[in-house]
Structure 1
Amino acid sequence: MNKPIRTISMFCLLLFVALMLNATYLQFWKADSLDDDPRNRRVIEAAYSRERGAILVGRDPIAESVPSDDRFEFQRAYPVPFRYAPITGYFSYFSQTGLEQSQNEVLSGEDPRLFVTKLVDLLSNNPNKGGSVQLTIDADAQEAAYEGLDALPGAVEGSVVALDPSSGKILAMVSLPTYDPNKLASHDLDEVSDTYDRLLADESEPLLNRAIQTTLPPGSTFKLVTAAAAIESGAYTADDLVPGGATYQLPLTSGESGLIDNEGRDCGTDRIPFKQAMAQSCNTTFAALANEVGADAMIEQAEAFGFNSDYLEDLRPQARSVFPSEMDAAQTGQSGIGQFEVRATPLQMAMVAAAIANNGVVKRPYIVDEVQSAEYDVLEKTDDSDLSQAISAATASDLTALLVETVENGTASPAAIDGITVAGKTGTAQSGQDDVAPYAWFVSFAPAEDPQVAVAVMIESADIPRGEIAGGQLGGPIAKAVMEAIIND
């Protein structure tokens, strides 16, 4: 064999080997990841040809597959689209989000827990059906949260989260603005593409689930964490006096730039009762307390509540709430009032309130209560689990007393419920930008002596004059409605 033929033969052999290696890599090593890739059209087309399982709230589907008379056999439908879109996400020809993505194996029927169902379908020559997912959401609480947030004036950007303190069940999760997932699940692919492009270009980010994907300065609601650190240090109880005063000069600073005030609230001149400091949301008190306990103790306490970690496993993606490290004394003081670089999701702040309500135990939040077969037989039920003992039961009791005082005689009074003892805290966080209004926050739980629900409300933007933005006035009534929906259920 002459040299040119030998060279061409070797080249062809190398091409053949490369082809075999590539085929082996794609079919064996990459097969699972390619199947799971939401851009895989072949997988999606196959999924459109089977009856995808339902996502249920109570007995009612909030996502289901209905027969279709076009080239696909089934159409994904969302009966209550706007209220639940941030939770369900959407199942479209192009991609999936929310629970449609995180629970795809169950809904599509590919989950190993559905093996028996698949086998029965195969033997009986019936088409394979997906399993269903039962959520922890309480329909009445979800409605109260959605209607309360939506009733605010203008184009509202915000979120509400409600938790069962004793289990971590997510009872409500609302995010505005929202969208209609039916338009993204349409079989008119041009319409889907146009709708997606429009939503993606919208500056208000309607595709974002603000409950778990938006982090903002939590403002005075973070004073719960600062108070927890101060009491856990052993230096204070709810009945003690704490630093007061009209102003507090941050360490390492001078002049107006480092001066903390209380915006006219009554915070005494020297030492004041802890209950007064919480009820009046005294910035001077909590900036001073943060520096007393120190940066290390502050970050340890914040992380015990869940900051700087991931904890939501059944609905993704989750943004991490942030408490900064390596702060100087001035930054530590600012962090004590929920400013500087402290950032939290509404879910995180609901977890802080829930932990106080649950004797200091932080429960892992979850939204999928049960995995069911296509016939609604329970295949697996989620067990609650502890994330941490963030504070002692005694500290939780002290904090509850402070928060009850804040509702009964302080800034959180709009959340008061007749005949029910409510614990709550307001927050108004500066955005740090002159052209961006402050963020309004509110956290609460009730009944204080036997908590059934903890709530966090975050209002990022609404058509409200800057001077009228206050967590109590805006978020308090929403939290109250959600708490009543659970307590009166």
Structure 2
Amino acid sequence: MNRPLRHVWLVIGVLFVLLFTSTTYFQVVAQGRLNAHGQNDRTLYNEYGRHRGPIVVDGHAIASSQESGDTYGYLRTYDPGAMYAPVTGYYSVVYGFTGIERTLNDTLSGEADALFYHRISDILSGRQGRGATVELTLDSAAQEAAWKALEGRRGAAVALDPETGAVLAMVSAPSFDPNRLASHDGPAVAESWTALNDDPDRPLTNRAIGGDLYPPGSAFKLVVASAALESGQYTADSEIPGPGTWQLPNSSAVMNNHASGGTEPCGPDDTSTLADALRQSCNTSFAQLGVDLGEEQLRETAEGFGFGERLEVPLSVTPSTIGEDLDDAQLATTSIGQYETRVTPLQMAMVAGTFANDGVTMEPQLVQAVRTNDLSTVAELTPKELGQPLSAANAAQMRQMMVGVVEDGTGTAAAIDGAEVGGKTGTAQWGEDRAPHSWYVGYGQQEDRKIAVAVVVEEGGYGSRTAAPIAKDVMEAVIRP
């Protein structure tokens, strides 16, 4: 072979190696980065051109895919949109996805590992690939009751099945219409996006599990009372101090006995039982009780309820906290749900559910089942214990005290005739010259039906007047269907 011919073959060989290397790089090494690139229209059309599985509540598809007749292939629609939007999130060709649409994207799109054999079956049979159906644990009646009761307010409501951890209701208000973000009209979507993000009421925030967490106010006294019982030093009948005012340790600040600023003592000789202190929501009693128990005991009990846990339900939940390295004055205000105590409504519903489940805290779960389009089950809810912050005997004492709050205390607006209802109200201070947040945390049960609930209304004032009636509506929807 002459020299010119060898040179030609050498050049061809080098070009072949370069071609092989570049092809391998772009198809293997850089595949993920190129697929995720925002300007890759092919990936975009491939993503939105697949049939997406529905999200279902009580047999009704609250999110589904319809043929769109445009370049995207399918349009995601939500019905009813705003009531479930904090859970479903949105699926947008412009702004991506949030909520269940995001956390279970692989399942809904059909790309999850658990659906591998189903995808192979579709390919071999020539069927168009379809995403799986995600059935949520939500109870449509409870969800609607919470949604209607919160109309026109800012706040959230969460309801749980105490025995399984199934989330029966998750409402955040105000909400938004995900259909406006799922539209294929780019300019209209951008306009809606801007309006939602500029709204000072933050409708895109799921207040039930995240955002700016809330001080729980007197609802946190449930955790303090549990810690007292678990310490072995107290029972529901133990006498504790409850003066009308109390100067905080090593501080010039004076605590009043009630959120209204009242200075009446909790009982004769400035004392009352633990049960009466909870029923009357005595600040000075629980502040002194928290200091007596100490930060370690209080933190251990709170963590048993799930405080500090990074939960995925599968939506990501912001951990609730009680502050760190507290001195006695800080511990006192922490014990009445103030200082740096910050919680999600989901966390407080878990607290209530623990009492109704004999002291066992269940891990909250939003997904009841995942099914393929031929109705075969891929996954089902499996109840999981998260912790046990108090014994069954002490949980029974807590229920007895909480029933007293509803029957003859601050929570009477949550009472349901013929049902066992226990709870605790809260009026949480949070800003100067701002009305306090309104709380109700409790449970209801009638025969074999149980529900735990937490309601917060921003700047709603007294929990007894605002949050408790909302909680009653949600509980009735479940225990009296």
Q: TM-score, normalised by structure 2?
A: 0.91
AA at the equivalent of 1:88: T
Give the structure 2 partner of residue 329 of structure 1.
328
Please tell me whether residue 276 in structure 1 is matched to residue 276 in structure 2.
yes
> 2:265·2:271 contact (CA, 8 Å) conserved in 1?
no
Structure 2 vs 1, CA of residues 339 and 61 (structure 1 numbering), >3 Å: closer, same or farther?
Answer: same
Q: Secondary structure of 2:225's match?
A: helix
Give the structure 2 partner of residue 369 of structure 1.
368
Q: How does 1:37-186 map to 2 (within 5 A)?
A: 42-93=42-93, 94-150=95-151, 155-186=152-183
Give the structure 2 partner of residue 297 of structure 1.
297
> 2:425·2:463 contact (CA, 8 Å) conserved in 1?
yes
Deviation string, structure 1 residues 366-409 (Cα, Å, up to 9, x no partner): 10111110233211112110111111111111111110000000
Cα distance in structure 2, aligned partners of 1:96 and 1:39: 17
Please say which of residues 183-192 and 42-51 is displaced more in the overlay.
42-51
Q: Secondary structure of 1:160's match?
A: strand
1:37 CA displacement: 8.5
Give the structure 2 partner of residue 487 of structure 1.
479
1:99 CA displacement: 0.2
Cα distance in structure 2, aligned partners of 1:27 and 1:49: 21
AA at the equivalent of 1:142: Q
1:271 CA displacement: 1.9
1:83 CA displacement: 0.5
AA at the equivalent of 2:361: V
1:362 CA displacement: 0.7
AA at the equivalent of 1:83: M
Q: Secondary structure of 1:66's match?
A: strand
Please tell me whether residue 261 in structure 1 is matched to residue 233 in structure 2.
no
Cα distance in structure 1, aligned partners of 2:74 and 2:214: 40
1:435 CA displacement: 3.6
Name structure 2 gaps, 5 residues minimum. 1-13
> 2:162·2:362 contact (CA, 8 Å) conserved in 1?
yes
Give the structure 1 partner of residue 9 of structure 2.
none
Give the structure 2 partner of residue 473 of structure 1.
465
Structure 2 vs 1, CA of residues 449 and 77 (structure 1 numbering), >3 Å: closer, same or farther?
Answer: closer
> 1:445·1:451 contact (CA, 8 Å) conserved in 2?
no
Match among 244, 247, 250 for residue 245 of structure 2: 247
Structure 2 vs 1, CA of residues 428 and 31 (structure 1 numbering), >3 Å: closer, same or farther?
Answer: farther
1:22 CA displacement: 12
Q: Secondary structure of 1:408's match?
A: helix
Please tell me whether residue 426 in structure 1 is matched to residue 422 in structure 2.
no
Deviation string, structure 1 residues 77-101 (Cα, Å, up to 9, x no partner): 0010010000000001121000000
Give the structure 2 partner of residue 202 of structure 1.
199
Give the structure 1 partner of residue 353 of structure 2.
354
1:421 CA displacement: 1.6
> 1:400·1:448 contact (CA, 8 Å) conserved in 2?
no
Structure 2 vs 1, CA of residues 22 and 427 (structure 1 numbering), >3 Å: closer, same or farther?
Answer: farther
Name structure 1 gaps, 5 residues minimum. 1-12, 463-468
1:30 CA displacement: 6.6
Please say which of residues 180-189 and 37-46 is displaced more in the overlay.
37-46
Cα distance in structure 2, aligned partners of 1:38 and 1:96: 14
> 2:245·2:254 contact (CA, 8 Å) conserved in 1?
no
Q: Secondary structure of 2:473's match?
A: helix
> 1:423·1:448 contact (CA, 8 Å) conserved in 2?
no
1:21 CA displacement: 9.2
> 2:257·2:265 contact (CA, 8 Å) conserved in 1?
no
> 2:449·2:478 contact (CA, 8 Å) conserved in 1?
no
1:201 CA displacement: 1.4
Cα distance in structure 2, aligned partners of 1:243 and 1:41: 69
1:43 CA displacement: 3.7
1:39 CA displacement: 9.1
AA at the equivalent of 2:49: S
> 1:424·1:442 contact (CA, 8 Å) conserved in 2?
yes
> 1:261·1:283 contact (CA, 8 Å) conserved in 2?
yes
> 1:217·1:342 contact (CA, 8 Å) conserved in 2?
yes
Structure 2 vs 1, CA of residues 488 and 241 (structure 1 numbering), >3 Å: closer, same or farther?
Answer: same
Question: Could you say what the CA RMSD is over the residues aligned between the two structures, in angstroms?
Answer: 2.3
Q: How does 1:445-464 map to 2 (within 5 A)?
A: 445-447=443-445, 452-461=450-459
> 1:299·1:324 contact (CA, 8 Å) conserved in 2?
no
Q: Secondary structure of 2:466's match?
A: helix
Give the structure 1 partner of residue 190 of structure 2.
193
Cα distance in structure 2, aligned partners of 1:23 and 1:248: 74
1:32 CA displacement: 5.2
1:472 CA displacement: 1.4
1:184 CA displacement: 0.3
Identity of aligned residues (%): 42
> 1:53·1:64 contact (CA, 8 Å) conserved in 2?
yes
AA at the equivalent of 1:193: A
> 2:419·2:444 contact (CA, 8 Å) conserved in 1?
yes
Q: Secondary structure of 1:444's match?
A: strand
Cα distance in structure 2, aligned partners of 1:321 and 1:448: 30
Structure 2 vs 1, CA of residues 119 and 439 (structure 1 numbering), >3 Å: closer, same or farther?
Answer: same
Give the structure 2 partner of residue 309 of structure 1.
309
> 2:49·2:72 contact (CA, 8 Å) conserved in 1?
yes
Give the structure 1 partner of residue 393 of structure 2.
394
AA at the equivalent of 2:80: V
1:177 CA displacement: 0.7
Cα distance in structure 1, aligned partners of 2:225 and 2:406: 16
AA at the equivalent of 1:312: E
AA at the equivalent of 2:150: L
Cα distance in structure 2, aligned partners of 1:275 and 1:289: 13
Give the structure 1 partner of residue 10 of structure 2.
none
Please say which of residues 110-119 and 473-482 is displaced more in the overlay.
110-119
AA at the equivalent of 1:86: P
1:270 CA displacement: 2.4
